[in-house]
């Protein structure tokens, strides 16, 4: 059985969704995040001993994160986040019964992964950059759930990074203008 319906988001975006319920216990949901650029395809599996939810996040049609969560009843048993760039698995964050690990994968050649922690030692962000330092993907984390950040924030971070690199290029120049370049950068971004 397939159901089709429309959702009107607060932003005014109209999203057409379809859901299919199959006899095998698999349930699909297609949703669109309110910013209109991330598509999420959710698949729920009912198993004899556990239930599993898989969410595939796509940015501009390309998979950038896969989250798989397993439940026993209403208790989460494990959660795996796979982070991808250009369909290449770059890193994974895995939680299982109170422990967690972050792994950078060998096939991630050409990319660097960073993980950030908050004051209470909780993960707050994972970012993926090229070896040259350009930010290509970033994921904020709240209560153990990673979400891709929006494209506008990625673009802004790269613009600021480029400006900072330009400031540091002044160090290489013999005219001693580095401190002036730092002052100009700080003044430009003081109220932002």
Give the model confidence (pLDDT) of 106-117 as tens digits: 666 788 888 888
Residue 69 has what pLDDT?
Answer: 93
Query: Among candidates 89, 67, 91, 63, which has minimal Cα distance to 145?
Result: 67
Q: Where are the domains of the chain?
A: 2-149, 152-192
Q: Mean pLDDT over all residues of the chain?
A: 76
In the chain the first and final C-alpha atoms are separated, in Å, by: 51
pLDDT number for residue 149: 87
Between strands 88-96 and 135-142, the pairing is unpaired
Q: How far, in Å, CA of 62 to CA of 137, rounded?
A: 12
What residues of the chain score a pLDDT lower than 50? 1-24, 34
CA dist 150 and 135 (Å) reads 13
- Is the entire prediction scored with pTM above 0.95? no
pLDDT value for 77: 92
Q: In what order do the strands lie in the sheet with 99-104?
A: 2-8, 14-21, 26-32, 38-46, 51-59, 62-72, 75-85, 88-96, 99-104
């Amino acid at each position: 059985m397939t159901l089709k319906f429309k959702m009107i988001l607060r932003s005014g975006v109209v999203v057409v969704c379809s859901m299919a319920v199959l006899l095998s216990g698999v349930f699909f949901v297609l949703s669109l995040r309110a910013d209109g650029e991330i598509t999420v395809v959710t698949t729920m599996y009912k198993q004899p001993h556990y239930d599993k939810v898989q969410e595939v996040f796509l940015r501009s049609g390309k998979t950038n994160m896969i989250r798989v969560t397993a439940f026993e009843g209403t208790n989460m048993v494990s959660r795996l986040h796979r982070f991808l760039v250009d369909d290449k698995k770059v890193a994974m964050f895995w939680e299982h019964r109170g422990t967690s690990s972050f792994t950078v994968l060998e096939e991630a050649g050409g990319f660097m992964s960073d993980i950030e922690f908050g004051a209470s030692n909780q993960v707050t962000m994972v970012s993926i950059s090229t070896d040259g330092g350009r930010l290509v993907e970033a994921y904020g984390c709240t209560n153990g759930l990673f979400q891709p950040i929006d494209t506008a924030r990625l673009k802004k971070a790269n613009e600021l990074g480029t400006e900072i690199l330009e400031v540091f290029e002044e160090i290489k120049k013999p005219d001693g203008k580095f401190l002036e370049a730092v002052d100009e950068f700080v003044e430009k971004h003081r109220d932002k």
